[in-house]
Amino acid sequence: MPVRRPPMLLLGVALLTLSGCMRAGVPATATATPPTTFRERIAALALTQVQFGSVSLLPVRFEHSRITPFFEDGGRILYCVTSRMKGRSLFKPERPKVVIREEKGTERLSIVANEDEVCEGHRTEPFPELNALGNRAG
């Protein structure tokens, strides 16, 4: 005669199993190996920013990410990173943008706040490192 298990117990086990399989909102840098190239370091820093979904409860997806080659502005070495992010809004992708500063001679990176206008007019190139790191978390 088969053993009958209460349906609530089976439901609880199923929910626990499924919750272990879902990884929404886990930052890519927490599960991935440390970034090795300079461009991967820039991508990892950009992904820590709120506008790039770092505190989003919903998984996000990045497409058509772009970066400017470095340029100097007032003695600072800057990079501008933009992307098309999907997942937090239903109808239209968000367009996050961040300005990253490199300290001369040290390769130390930091975020420059409220300086989006310095990016205007600079040529950009594809930034697949951001797509790869950002989409790994979702």
The per-residue pLDDT for 3 is: 57
Per the confidence metrics, is the pTM higher than 0.95? no
Return the half-sphere exposure (C-beta side, CA atoms, 13 A cut-off) of residue 88.
17
Q: How far apart are CA 100 and CA 119, in angstroms?
A: 11
* Per-residue pLDDT in tens (0 to 9) along the chain, 138 residues: 555 655 554 545 444 444 444 444 444 444 556 778 999 999 999 999 999 988 888 889 999 999 999 999 888 899 999 999 998 888 889 999 999 999 887 889 999 988 878 889 999 999 999 999 988 755
Per-residue pLDDT, 34: 73
